A and B are shown apart, each in its own frame.
Chain A
Amino acid sequence: MGLFHDHLLSVVLFTPLVGAMLLLFIPRDAQMLHRVVGNLFGVLGFLVSVPLVIHFPVGSNDYAFRETANWIPSIGAKYALGIDGITLLLVMLTTLLGMIAITSSWTAIHTRTKEYYILLLLLQTGMLGVFMSLDFFLFYVFWEVMLVPMYFLIGVWGSERRLYAAIKFFLYTLAGSVIMLLGILALYFNAAKVPGSVPTFDVPALLAAAQHFPDSLKVWLFWGFFFAFAIKVPMFPFHTWLPDAHTEAPTAGSVILAGVLLKMGTYGFLRFSLPLLPADAVLRAKIIHILILLSLIGIIYGAIVCLMQKDMKRLIAYSSVSHLGFCTLGIFALTPQGLSGSVLQQINHGISTGALFLLVGMLYERRHTRLISEFGGLATPMPNFAAIYLIITLSSLGMPILNGFIGEFTILQGAFVVNKAWAAWGTLGIVLGAAYLLWLYQRVMFGNVTHDVNKTLPDLSVREYAVLLPLVALAFWIGIYPKPFFAYIDKPVEKIVQQVNPKFYEQANRALPPAAPVVAPSAPASLEVK
């Protein structure tokens, strides 16, 4: 137990990799064995991450489960892992969605199953590494490791325009990450200039050192990181790779892409970009305004484009642009509520949009089309599917007692505190969200069955239930009792706000005397006299 416990993060990180290695030794035509081993390690990957939740010190604002080992001592690169409350949630989301994505592929993939599961598991390790790394060098390695399996997942198992989408995805993301690499190097060399410092890629150390950089340098660094993250999120106008990649990717790829990969961008923003904001108030306000503007455009633009989409996956992809706009809005509001809401909304988006892609994937498996016009009236042959799809739709459009509402409400409140107009424009996204999601639901599920083939579509199978129900349960849990989730993020968020927006906590404590005691009833008030 000791060894296991001391290296929990490493175990979680490399369990999928072990699975991938094991698959290498299995003959390529033993498809069933690929599936079994893939699923086994998918489930195992989630199970080994559960102790993280159990042992996590709730209420701490420092990194937990830290592991450090020298890696390339000559340049100061280390194998350093650690998670705080924010990354804990993201790691759990990754292991859960990873398991679900693998399970959902059981019947969907028939070609090159060996490579498929190897790549999915490799991707899993890459994503976990990005969230866990506390060393910029390691972080960058994992960041690039993620890219390759995704490229092949889209390019090999995707649909008609898969090559175009895969190359677009790859080049787009790579362009961003190369600029980020320059940023990392600039950070590294400038920090090393400080007398008495040892060269290091340590994340907390470098970000702390960056606080003493001149603003001119910080602005450059900020924009350097910005492109990598903005492309990943994606923020408007860097979003066009997303609809293509989402639409062409196989179901599991879309789930991972929407559920986890996009969160790399938002995570990067809140972990790396925020500390690089310049200290000068005017300059900072300018940058913040640009980012908020892009977020709001993303929310509204993404939602409006959804309305006219003919392809279900494309519609959901654009809805991600809108939803991630909320996440970045919350981050750049720089208030505790904005940030908490944003982190929670990142989880929520993974749950809701992940589930939406799974649902569309189930329809695709049955009909081999994603065109909305090919469906209609499915509520009649598939009542259980209709029920779960409705719950997920409602969760995505922010219905209270489901998860989406908690996130959106908290983000908007956090933004409202800073600027009322931001929140007002944001609410527009909520109206449009209801419009495109309910319209989609109506066109697919309601009415008479318009195509004869749809009359006999089977309802959900046991395996499909198993894939969907955990997400539905989570949606209700976060909607009804989000307090434990907020408890994980509270302290780390407070730490970030104290670091990047200390003014928030310095607000003058305008003392308010305790509320006056309840006034004893006077004579019947004038209201009722007639």
Chain B
Amino acid sequence: MTPSGYFLEHLWLIPLFPLVTAALMLLIGRRLPRSAVSFFCVGSVFLSFVHAAGAVFQLLAVAPENRVYQQILFEWITPGAMPGPGGLVNFVADWGYLLDPLSCVMVLVVTGVGFLIHVYSIGYMGHEGGYYRFFGYMNLFMFSMLTLVLANNLLLLFVGWEGVGLCSYLLIGFYFLKKSAADAGKKAFIVNRIGDTGFLLGIFLIATTFGTVRFTSQMLSDPVAYAGILETLRAMVDQGRLAYGAPILTGIALLLFVGATGKSAQVPLYVWLPDAMEGPTPVSALIHAATMVTAGVYMVARMSAIYQLAPVAMDVVAIVGATTAIFAASMAVAQNDIKKVLAYSTISQLGYMFLALGVGAFSAGIFHLMTHSFFKALLFLGAGSVIHALSGEQDLRKMGGLWNTIPATSRPFLIATLAIAGIPPLAGFFSKDEILGHVFNRHNESLIMDRYLFLWAIGVVTAGITAFYMFRLFFQVFRGRSRVATELEEHIHESPKSMTVPLMILAFLSICGGWFALPVLWGENNTFGTFLEPALRGVKDEIGGVEVGHHTLFKEYLLMMASVGIATLGIWLAYRLYLQYPKLHSKVAAAWPRLHNLLINKYYVDEIYDALFVNRVKDLSTAFGVVDAKLIDGVGVDGAGWLARVISRISMWWDKWVIDGLVNLAGKITNGLSVPVRMFQTGVFSSYAVLILLGLAILLGYYGHHMHMIVRNLR
């Protein structure tokens, strides 16, 4: 039975609702009252959520292997022929949507959490200028993100990918009067673009390798005419034209991963995310925690069939993930801005997700993506509520003792903090434990140490650091004595219902969200993993499939105890340093000043990038400007002009002295010849008279002589 029903057939409505309201806001929003703006913008996201939920239910109605629904709206880019795997193919990128278990999870997270954050924004942004603009951008973001997760091909995914990047740019720079905000937006965009170059090249390589960018031809009328990457890959593997570890697959996987490091803020392209905290807090919650930054994780999972055949790329993904996880966590320890702590925490948690993907635990990575979106959205929204209560204060050192002053914020915040710290039975515990378990299982037991054990150790240590910095934050904000500035103290107020109700719903999800995937060894079936399995199966089970170490219940408990133990240790440390002996942490910092400085300054990575790249490009720009003015124009163009003038001078000289010279010479010769003649041409009448007389005399003499002779002869 193939999936069908109203909601599936109207899949295209899911991204369209927010697009329509976004266009409405950006065109005429300025003239609408705030209530109308909230009604349209939040309402459209709610409609998307309802349609998404309906579509998921209709998909669930069929057997697991048939849970794919695909619709092609129109042919989008049709640039002509290109070489494909079987000779020339006409390259076509559709505008089409795909709903399978993987996009089900994403679309529910995006619309669900997105809706809650939209509701929250009504309260949070209530007193801000540009209300319509904010919601317009937020809706535009929802459209882009939904296009990203519902796209049926890589190129349309890229549309969403760039679209969310644009909205991120616009929303980070929402307070565009602030230079730091505008700078941060620009930085985010450009750093993402650097990653995108890899992504684009990856798309090209996929297109030339498989002749298509469509993910799958499943559930399309004609699987040959509408080829899919998955099916083509399977056929090529069957024919032996591609094999496990083929360089071209590794190339594709690595290039796509470059894109993922940009969007999902991994080493070395994570630098934009902490700066992105310049945006309004709901933006940080929606874009920079719950949805957009997970796009890289989603994309890698979407291309899992290729990654499973590219072991080198998988190792790179795992190593980059683990490195980012611990590196970002260490930076979170020393931050004093509440949102910056959460930003580094997000980077670190995304590292966990990539670690999971890198060891082949795709569903575990997506599971952590989901639980993380619950508790991290909650943490950001909670932080926003705190900032709201303190009239804009973000410095942890100027907070404290808010536990009972703003209870509707502080209680959910504690739940989220426990969830991210990995305390059972909250959501974060199950997802993080599943990842660590998978990493550990890849470990070859005959060796004392191998890279998987090392990665696992990094993961566990990071879990400890995470618990530490999160409780450091929690204690500094909510417990201890109040360090709030006295003039702010009297204004402290609980946030309105529109803000606190989403907090409570997210708190509920942070508690229960993990129960979808209870460990198999507990005698439960991992519902979440089983649901996702058809979408992440890859092309062949046997090749490169993840070897799974045999795992006993005892070892499972041991691993759990290790991670819970180290989390507890982190919490205890935070308690000692920040609550029990509040002076102690400055002493610790003073004891290791260099380390402390390094962490405070975030390892000087921004400065290093500026020195190595940003300033060098600027220098190059100045240098090229000089090349244009001095070399190309100065030597080339002006040189040509100079040459023309020189030639013109030479030809002038030639004309004057050679050509004209010859003419003159001829004249001179004539002239010279005329000298004796001229001697007589004096112009003096008297001399002429003398000459005339002289001539006459000669003539007369001559003729006279002749006459004489003639006459004589006659005689």
Contacts and interface: CB of A to CB of B under 8 A. Distances in A.
A377 interface: yes
B394 interface: no
A371 interface: no
Nearest to A530: B520
A505 B207 CA distance: 18
A448 interface: yes
B182 A413 contact: no
A172 B637 contact: yes
Given A507-B87, A530-B437, A410 B79 contact: yes
Given A304-B624, A307-B621, A424 B201 contact: yes
Nearest to A415: B204
Given A483-B74, A486-B80, 17 more contacts: A335-B82, A399-B166, A400-B163, A414-B79, A417-B208, A432-B617, A435-B617, A438-B186, A438-B190, A442-B182, A486-B77, A486-B78, A486-B79, A514-B223, A515-B235, A518-B231, A527-B536
Contacts of B622: 308
Interface of B: 26, 30, 64-65, 74-83, 85-88, 91, 155, 158-159, 162-163, 166, 169, 173, 176-179, 182-183, 186, 189-190, 193-194, 196-197, 200-201, 204-205, 207-208, 217-218, 223-224, 227-228, 231-232, 234-236, 238-239, 360-363, 434, 437-438, 441, 519-521, 526, 529-530, 533-534, 536-538, 541, 545-548, 551, 617-618, 620-622, 624-625, 628, 632-633, 636-637
A74 B166 CA distance: 62
13 contacts: A237-B632, A237-B636, A417-B208, A431-B190, A442-B182, A442-B186, A447-B178, A482-B78, A483-B75, A490-B80, A515-B223, A516-B234, A520-B65
Interface stretch (A26-34, A44-52, A336-344): A336-344
A462 interface: no
A510 B239 CA distance: 12
A494 B169 CA distance: 40
A524 interface: yes
A72 interface: no
Given A379-B176, A507-B87, A519 B234 contact: yes
B162 A341 contact: no
Q: Dominant SS at the A interface?
A: helix
Interface in A13-71: none
B228 A515 contact: yes
Nearest to B233: A515
B679 to A, nearest CB: 55
Contacts of B79: 336-337, 340-341, 410, 413-414, 486
A411 to B, nearest CB: 9
Interface string A510-530: 111111111111101111111
Nearest to A413: B204
Contacts, number: 239
Contacts of A305: 621, 624-625, 628
A305 B218 CA distance: 48
B618 A512 contact: no
B546 A526 contact: yes
B678 to A, nearest CB: 50
A528 B363 contact: yes
Contacts of A524: 530, 533
B235 A417 contact: no
Given A335-B82, A530-B526, A446 B173 contact: yes
A409 interface: yes
Nearest to B619: A308
A240 interface: yes
A377 B177 contact: yes
Contact of B632 (A240, A377, A509): A240
A493 B80 contact: yes
A299 to B, nearest CB: 13
Contact of A481 (B64, B76, B179, B194): B76
Contact of A337 (B80, B179, B363, B529): B80
B524 to A, nearest CB: 10
Shortest beta-carbon contacts, A-B, top 6? A512-B86, A509-B87, A515-B231, A336-B80, A427-B197, A307-B621
A515 B234 contact: yes
B177 A446 contact: yes
A343 to B, nearest CB: 10
B196 A507 contact: no
A490 B361 CA distance: 45
B82 A413 contact: yes
Contacts of A287: none
B208 A527 contact: no
A200 to B, nearest CB: 32
Given A413-B204, A483-B78, A301 B546 contact: no
A163 interface: no
A439 interface: yes
